[in-house]
RNA sequence: GCCGGAGUGGCGGAAUGGCAGACGCACCGGAUUCAAAAUCCGGCGACCCUGACAGGUCAUGUGGGUUCGACUCCCACCUCCGGCACCA
């Protein structure tokens, strides 16, 4: 029987680990701790994907290695189990999402256990368990109870100083006028400052489906399912004030050990920009607006009065009604502002629209309201806009400039209004050219400046001259007293002068928006929030929270999941006793019916793993302090931005409120690369038959059309035999003119290239799957699957088995070559080199090269007639993190009665590694011309002598002058000759 | 367009500035076998030269540069992948 039999071995050891709780983790670490975390999966109905075990194996190897190094390792697993697919399944079949979810979890759990990961399964959690989401709701209440004090200065435990911190809402200073207006005014004031707040936000409402759709379910304004029209309607939504934390989320990226590329993605997403806010005078409300390019005497007086009032009172915190507040990163171009643009949704549009322009403006605004942001950016290649009829006064030169509305200005960024400087902004330039607005250059490009491709693309001809926009930095001109200043200096100067005059101030803006935190779904966490109702049963806008001891707020018992046909969430159909109650003071209350998005549960699960069964706190303080932060976090790059940003945000809020001990949750982050399907060879043939239904070169195919003839083509799978390599391309063997496509694609059901881990394990075993996924290439690289590659590593494991066990007999026993004899010097050196390399590679997560080293070891040892036990045992330990089942079995066969999971990791002795003799490459002018063997520690003179004694070298050196010799001990000797 | 990342044999990949292609796959040859599977041994970048032994030249996307020496460092460009995309 003694063939390598993964089925028997793997089942045996998985049962052993489970029964002996081999990987159970103590509540608090003993000695040095290590917290290694996988991004927990969404348990989809398709079961495990081969992409999952990639990261999971990498973390498992790391964990097993560090346990053997004596660390206490926390390595948990759980389920991110709320989500849309289960709900859609419920709509289709009537099956409760909970049922679907728990069935899928069962499949995932079985599959993960089948792969032999050393999780502490006693810590398993699911975001859908009431005992889990009880604390998700509790954290939401913390957000609800927090306001952001942007001015608070504090010092963190590293001694770094920060500005801005979340504080209890009870500590929010209440302005005296608010306090004077009574308790309700105070409550509303507080509500307006909480980190969790409500707003009206547009949702994708699909009347035909009778439900609200997520952005990814809408394609070109139609529903993904059924292709029905989707409209955007405003709905009351919950938002989280993540923008308050933008600066800290940005600057703290500097202290975490993450790939630079991921940090860059987050930086771009946060999108910090520095500039100035500037107020443009439009006249107090009620007064007629400026409608000409010059001010009349009344208006001049009013403008002068406004200026002097500002000069004494300073720049108001909030925008006042007599001016338009704009944000610009280029305050140095104020003198070149020739018009203003408001977002169509800007609150001042009505006020500034004159009677003659009203029809046009209204039509434009209505049109814009139908477009999603995506449509606005995608379709708006051509700029559109409408003049309001009014003018605003430029504070630096008193010039009135026309105010337009256009959808290229977004209401959600900055102040929703801009000053347009067409000469120095490409978007403004395009708009100005289209609507024939004046263009005034105020920045002189540096000498020798060559316009960029973008700038050139926008250039226009005026009176036979070419005019080109210039968006870079240069020297000021046409800017009165500022002429001659460099852009940077100008910005500083004018910003501080505007500040003294009360007409502007320095400002920072972020691309990051507040987080839309509610969904109109059933299968999510309910909010622990009640809305107060008035006597008519209408919401007053005031809220109450569930008390901590009333959590969790569980989902109501519902039996049908078909959309009810109104935009309100499905929970609006919940039973009355779930929806309503009367408070002790007699106030009628209605429950919040939105649910939280899927992100909520995954924002803090790493904390719950530390203390998963705690019934009195989301995590015990001492345990949190002992285990956090996560030392290594591995997962897919698709979560590079949102999940990681949202988690960091929640963690910082919890930190500010004193619930966790550090302000960053994940110290080291690694993204595993995607695993693609097997490489495919694809040729293209004319699809329309025609007279010659021949092949088309892949080069000239675009979107299934031959670009040369415009005839449609279709893809045809080719076998390796039909194709040959020619130059850099693959071509048809039958016709070398026809280039064939060779690439691997993302695995997908529709392409039919999905690899099922169950089948791989069935055929080759879990150890082979684990080993193959690590051997494919660097963890972080994208790489194609190859079934014969699995076969390769499986052969290696079988070879390991044969090296140790005797296959010639029926029972399982040691191979006779395995003997208790002292190893040879070569064997010892090989072992220690292997230990050194594997240890270094595991530390660096270079698992592919570690496996190569172990293969080399086995290739050398397997052929030997005597295989000393003293070199095989350390080798089995080296292999054990990678192929734990086989290693345990071999360990037992070698006579051990305990699991090897906590055996000390083998050490190497540097003294053993020293080779007595070294082979030296001898170079002449950088080319290797010969090799010599000399003592490893030889002096240069010895090496030189040996090299000159070599016949070939001597021949090469004959008649030449040696001008330099470079000697790298043990590696090479290089002659530079003339 | 902008921001990242990557281009090395037929394929996956390896190489602190120091012998390019470790290790694996595929393929070819041999051993074993009645035969096959499995296993074991050997070969395997391209081109030139040779009867053979040996040897030579060119090769890490392209073109330059630094260096005694470059896959590795610098500059420019090309291609592919990922992200963002009117953010003032």
Tens digits of per-residue pLDDT, A628-676?
A: 999 999 999 888 889 999 999 999 999 999 999 999 999 999 999 999 9
What pLDDT is recorded for position A742? Answer: 84
| Residue A791 CB in 7 A reach of strand B | yes
| Residue A422 CB in 7 A reach of strand B | no
| Residue A843 CB in 7 A reach of strand B | no
A924 CA from B68 C1′ (Å): 9
A407 nearest nucleotide via C1' and CA: B86
CA dihedral A479, A483, A485, A487 (to 10 degrees): 30
Q: What is the mean pLDDT of residues A574-581?
A: 93
pLDDT: is A729 or A352 the higher one?
A352
What pLDDT is recorded for position A959? Answer: 74
Q: Is the pLDDT assigned to residue A477 strictly greater than 50?
A: yes
| Residue A216 CB in 7 A reach of strand B | no
| Residue A47 CB in 7 A reach of strand B | no
A729 CA from B7 C1′ (Å): 14
Of chain A residues 735-764, which have a beta carbon within 7 Å of strand B?
Answer: 746
Whether residues A315 and A407 fall in one domain: yes
Q: Using one digit for the tens of pLDDT, what is the confidence trace for A776-815?
A: 999 999 999 999 999 999 999 999 999 999 887 777 888 8
Counting residues of chain A whose pLDDT is more than 90, the rounded percentage is: 63
A720 nearest nucleotide via C1' and CA: B10
Instruction: Answer whether the bond into residue A666 is a cis peptide, omega within 30°.
Output: no
User: Which bases of strand B have any atom within 7 Å of the beta carbon of a protein residue?
Assistant: 1-5, 10-16, 18-20, 22-26, 38-41, 56-57, 61, 68-70, 81-88
A967 nearest nucleotide via C1' and CA: B18
A956 CA from B56 C1′ (Å): 14
Q: Judge whether A195 and A139 are in contact, CB under 8 Å.
A: no
Question: Total domain count for chain A?
Answer: 5
Whether residues A710 and A815 fall in one domain: no
| Residue A678 CB in 7 A reach of strand B | no
| Residue A273 CB in 7 A reach of strand B | yes
Give the Cα-Cα-Cα angle A86, A89, A91 (nearest 5 degrees). Answer: 115
Instruction: Count, in order, helices (H) and strands (E) of chain A.
Output: 31, 45
Q: Judge whether A276 and A650 are in contact, CB under 8 Å.
A: no
| Residue A425 CB in 7 A reach of strand B | yes
Q: Using one digit for the tens of pLDDT, what is the confidence trace for A905-942?
A: 999 998 888 777 777 888 888 778 877 888 877 788 88
Please, which pLDDT band fits residue A379 given cuts at 50, 70 and 90? very low
End-of-domain residue from the set A459, A492, A510: A510
Q: Using one digit for the tens of pLDDT, what is the confidence trace for A279-309?
A: 999 988 877 788 888 888 888 999 999 999 9
- Is A807 part of a structural domain of the chain? yes
What pLDDT is recorded for position A403? Answer: 95
Sequence-separated (6 or more) residues with CB below 8 Å from residue A756: A47, A50
Whether residues A811 and A728 fall in one domain: no
Rounded Cα distance, A223 and A781, in Å: 35
| Residue A784 CB in 7 A reach of strand B | yes
- Is A11 part of a structural domain of the chain? no
Whether residues A892 and A814 fall in one domain: yes
A166 CA from B88 C1′ (Å): 30
pLDDT, mean over chain A:
90
Give the Cα-Cα-Cα angle A237, A241, A245 (nearest 5 degrees). Answer: 160
3-state DSSP assignment of residue A723: strand
Whether residues A332 and A470 fall in one domain: yes
- Measured between alpha carbons, how far apart are the two ends of chain A, in Å? 68
Q: Is the pLDDT assigned to residue A399 strictly greater than 70?
A: yes
A371 CA from B32 C1′ (Å): 75
Q: How many other β-carbons are positioned within 10 Å of the β-carbon of residue A297? A: 7
A62 CA from B61 C1′ (Å): 36
Please, which pLDDT band fits residue A161 given cuts at 50, 70 and 90? confident
Q: For residue A395, report the phi and psi dihedrals to the nearest 5 degrees.
A: -65, -25
Rounded Cα distance, A527 and A545, in Å: 9
* Owning domain of residue A710: 680-743
| Residue A705 CB in 7 A reach of strand B | no
What pLDDT is recorded for position A377? Answer: 57
Q: Judge whether A935 and A915 are in contact, CB under 8 Å.
A: no
What element of type H or E holds A601?
helix A599-602
Whether residues A492 and A625 fall in one domain: no
Q: Judge whether A10 and A116 are in contact, CB under 8 Å.
A: yes
What pLDDT is recorded for position A374? Answer: 54
Q: How many other β-carbons are positioned within 10 Å of the β-carbon of residue A796? A: 21
Please, which pLDDT band fits residue A203 given cuts at 50, 70 and 90? confident
3-state DSSP assignment of residue A808: coil
Of chain A residues 134-173, which have a beta carbon within 7 Å of strand B?
Answer: none
In whole angstroms, how far apart are CA A198 and each of A281, A521, A887?
Answer: 32, 17, 57
- Is A529 part of a structural domain of the chain? no
A731 CA from B47 C1′ (Å): 21
Rounded Cα distance, A654 and A841, in Å: 37
- Is A359 part of a structural domain of the chain? yes
Please, which pLDDT band fits residue A1 given cuts at 50, 70 and 90? very low
What pLDDT is recorded for position A744? Answer: 87
Rounded Cα distance, A379 and A4, in Å: 61
Give the Cα-Cα-Cα angle A675, A779, A664 (nearest 5 degrees). Answer: 110
End-of-domain residue from the set A639, A659, A675: A675
A673 nearest nucleotide via C1' and CA: B82
Instruction: Answer whether the bond into residue A136 is a cis peptide, omega within 30°.
Output: no
End-of-domain residue from the set A451, A477, A510: A510
Residue in the block written with tokens 């500590």: A171
| Residue A846 CB in 7 A reach of strand B | yes
CATH number at residue A877: 1.10.730.10
Letter string b/e over residues A848-862, b meaning 16 or more CB atoms within 10 A of that residue's CB: bebbebbbebbeebe
Closest to A413 (Cα-Cα) out of A512, A488, A318: A512
Q: What is the mean pLDDT of residues A721-731?
A: 77
| Residue A798 CB in 7 A reach of strand B | yes
CATH number at residue A920: 3.10.20.590
Q: Is the pLDDT assigned to residue A883 strictly greater than 50?
A: yes
Of chain A residues 858-887, which have a beta carbon within 7 Å of strand B?
Answer: 859, 862-863
Rounded Cα distance, A713 and A885, in Å: 50
A670 CA from B12 C1′ (Å): 21
Q: What is the mean pLDDT of residues A79-100?
A: 92
What pLDDT is recorded for position A868? Answer: 94
| Residue A919 CB in 7 A reach of strand B | yes
Please, which pLDDT band fits residue A964 given cuts at 50, 70 and 90? confident
| Residue A679 CB in 7 A reach of strand B | yes
A509 nearest nucleotide via C1' and CA: B87
Whether residues A707 and A728 fall in one domain: yes
By C-alpha to C1' distance, B56 is nearest to: A929
Its ipTM equals 0.95
pLDDT: is A317 or A904 the higher one?
A904
* DSSP code at position A575: -
A813 CA from B35 C1′ (Å): 31
- Is A612 part of a structural domain of the chain? yes
Whether residues A627 and A506 fall in one domain: no
- Is A15 part of a structural domain of the chain? no
Q: How many other β-carbons are positioned within 10 Å of the β-carbon of residue A841? A: 18
| Residue A227 CB in 7 A reach of strand B | no
Whether residues A832 and A956 fall in one domain: no
Please, which pLDDT band fits residue A435 given cuts at 50, 70 and 90? very high
CA dihedral A101, A106, A108, A114 (to 10 degrees): 180
CATH number at residue A449: 3.90.740.10
- Is A339 part of a structural domain of the chain? yes
Q: Judge whether A660 and A698 are in contact, CB under 8 Å.
A: no
Q: What is the mean pLDDT of residues A549-554?
A: 93
Q: What is the mean pLDDT of residues A48-59?
A: 95
By C-alpha to C1' distance, B82 is nearest to: A637
Whether residues A783 and A845 fall in one domain: yes
| Residue A613 CB in 7 A reach of strand B | no
Rounded Cα distance, A91 and A316, in Å: 53
Whether residues A670 and A621 fall in one domain: yes
A775 nearest nucleotide via C1' and CA: B24
A437 CA from B1 C1′ (Å): 25
3-state DSSP assignment of residue A518: coil
Of chain A residues 947-976, which have a beta carbon within 7 Å of strand B?
Answer: 964, 966, 968, 971-972, 974, 976
H-only helix segments in A69-167:
84-93, 97-114, 130-144
- Is A594 part of a structural domain of the chain? no
A704 CA from B11 C1′ (Å): 27
| Residue A840 CB in 7 A reach of strand B | no
Whether residues A653 and A768 fall in one domain: no
Q: Using one digit for the tens of pLDDT, what is the confidence trace for A207-222?
A: 877 777 777 677 667 7
Rounded Cα distance, A573 and A569, in Å: 8
């Amino acid at each position: 029987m003694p063939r390598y039999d993964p089925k028997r071995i793997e089942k045996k050891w998985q049962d052993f680990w489970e029964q002996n709780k081999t990987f159970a983790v103590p509540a608090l670490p003993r000695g040095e701790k290590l917290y290694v975390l996988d991004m927990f999966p969404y348990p989809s109905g398709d079961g495990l994907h081969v992409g999952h075990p990639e990261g999971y194996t990498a973390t498992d190897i790391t964990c097993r290695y560090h346990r053997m190094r004596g660390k206490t390792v926390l390595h948990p697993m759980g389920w991110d189990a709320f989500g849309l697919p289960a709900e859609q399944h419920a709509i289709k079949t009537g099956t409760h999402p909970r049922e679907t979810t728990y069935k899928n979890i069962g499949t995932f759990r079985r599959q993960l256990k089948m792969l032999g990961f050393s999780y502490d399964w006693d810590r398993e959690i699911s975001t859908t368990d009431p005992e889990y989401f009880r604390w998700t709701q509790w954290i939401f209440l913390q957000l609800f109870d927090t306001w952001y004090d942007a001015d608070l200065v504090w010092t963190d435990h590293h001694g770094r100083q920060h500005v801005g911190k979340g504080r209890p809402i009870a500590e929010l200073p209440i302005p005296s006028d608010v306090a004077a207006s009574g308790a309700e005014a105070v409550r509303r004031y507080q509500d307006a400052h909480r980190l969790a707040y409500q707003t009206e936000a547009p949702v994708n409402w699909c009347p035909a489906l009778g439900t609200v759709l997520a952005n990814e379910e809408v394609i070109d304004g139609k529903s993904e399912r059924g292709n029905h029209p989707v409209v955007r309607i405003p709905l009351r939504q919950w938002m989280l004030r993540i923008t308050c934390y933008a600066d800290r989320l940005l600057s703290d990226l500097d202290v975490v050990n993450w790939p630079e590329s991921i940090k860059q993605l987050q930086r771009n997403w946060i999108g910090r920009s520095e500039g100035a806010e500037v107020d443009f005078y439009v006249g107090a409300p009620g007064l007629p607006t400026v409608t000409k390019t010059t001010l009349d005497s009344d208006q001049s007086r009013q403008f002068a009065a406004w200026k002097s009032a500002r000069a004494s009172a300073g720049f108001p915190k909030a925008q006042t009604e007599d001016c338009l507040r704009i944000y610009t990163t280029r305050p140095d171009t104020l003198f070149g502002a020739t018009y203003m643009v408001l977002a169509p949704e800007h609150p001042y549009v009505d006020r500034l629209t004159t009677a003659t322009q009203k029809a046009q403006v209204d039509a434009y605004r209505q049109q814009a309201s139908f477009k999603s942001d995506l449509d606005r950016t995608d379709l708006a290649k051509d700029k559109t806009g409408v003049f309001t009829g009014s003018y605003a006064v430029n504070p630096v030169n008193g010039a009135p400039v026309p105010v337009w509305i256009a959808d290229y200005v977004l209401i959600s960024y900055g102040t929703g209004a801009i000053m347009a400087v067409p000469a120095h902004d490409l978007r403004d330039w395009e708009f100005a050219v289209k609507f024939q607005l004046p263009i005034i250059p105020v920045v002189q490009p540096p000498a020798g400046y060559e316009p960029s491709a973008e700038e050139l693309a926008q250039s226009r001809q005026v009176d036979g001259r070419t005019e080109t926009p210039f968006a870079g930095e240069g020297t000021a001109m046409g800017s009165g007293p500022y002429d001659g200043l460099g852009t940077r200096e100008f910005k500083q100067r004018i910003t501080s002068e505007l500040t003294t005059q009360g007409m502007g101030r320095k400002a920072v803006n972020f691309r990051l928006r507040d987080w839309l935190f509610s969904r109109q779904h059933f299968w999510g966490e309910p909010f622990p929030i009640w809305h107060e109702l008035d006597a008519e049963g209408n919401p007053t806008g005031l809220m109450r929270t569930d008390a901590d001891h009333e959590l969790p707020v569980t989902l109501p018992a519902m039996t049908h999941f078909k959309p009810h046909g109104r935009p309100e969430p499905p929970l609006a159909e919940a039973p009355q006793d779930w929806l309503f109650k009367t408070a002790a003071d007699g106030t009628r209350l209605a429950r919040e019916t939105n649910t939280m998005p899927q992100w909520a549960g995954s924002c803090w699960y790493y904390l719950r793993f530390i203390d998963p069964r705690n019934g009195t706190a989301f995590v015990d303080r001492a345990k949190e302090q002992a285990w956090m932060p996560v030392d290594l976090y591995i997962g897919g790059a698709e979560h590079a931005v949102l999940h990681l940003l949202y988690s960091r945000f929640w963690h910082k809020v919890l930190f500010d409120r004193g619930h966790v001990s550090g302000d960053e949750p994940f110290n080291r982050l690694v993204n595993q690369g995607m695993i693609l399907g097997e490489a495919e060879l694809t040729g293209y043939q004319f699809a329309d038959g025609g007279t010659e239904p021949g092949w088309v070169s892949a080069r000239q195919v675009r979107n299934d059309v031959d670009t040369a003839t415009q005839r449609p083509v279709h893809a045809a799978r080719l076998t390796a035999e039909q194709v040959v390599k020619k130059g850099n391309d693959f071509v048809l063997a039958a016709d070398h003119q026809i280039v064939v496509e060779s690439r691997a694609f993302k695995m997908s059901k529709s392409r039919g290239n999905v690899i099922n881990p169950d089948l791989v394990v069935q055929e080759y075993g879990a150890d082979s799957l684990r080993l193959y996924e690590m051997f494919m290439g660097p963890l972080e690289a994208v790489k194609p699957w190859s079934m014969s590659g699995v076969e390769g590593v499986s052969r290696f494991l079988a070879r390991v088995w044969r090296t140790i066990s005797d296959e010639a007999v029926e029972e399982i026993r040691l191979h006779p070559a395995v003997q208790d004899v002292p190893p040879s010097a070569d064997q010892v050196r090989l072992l220690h080199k292997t230990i050194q390399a594997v240890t270094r590679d595991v530390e660096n997560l270079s698992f592919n090269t570690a496996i190569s080293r172990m293969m080399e070891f086995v290739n050398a040892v397997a052929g030997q007639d005597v295989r000393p036990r003293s070199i095989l045992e350390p080798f089995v330990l080296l292999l054990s993190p990678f192929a734990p089942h086989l290693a345990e079995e071999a360990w037992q066969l070698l006579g051990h009665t305990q699991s090897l999971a906590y055996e000390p990791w083998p050490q190497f002795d540097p003294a053993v590694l020293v080779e007595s003799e070294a082979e030296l490459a001898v170079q002449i002018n950088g080319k290797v011309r010969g090799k010599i063997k000399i003592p490893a520690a030889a002096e240069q003179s010895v090496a030189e002598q040996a090299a000159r004694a070599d016949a070939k070298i001597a021949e090469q050196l004959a008649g030449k002058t040696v001008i330099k010799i470079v000697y790298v001990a043990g590696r090479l000797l290089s002659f530079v000759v003339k």
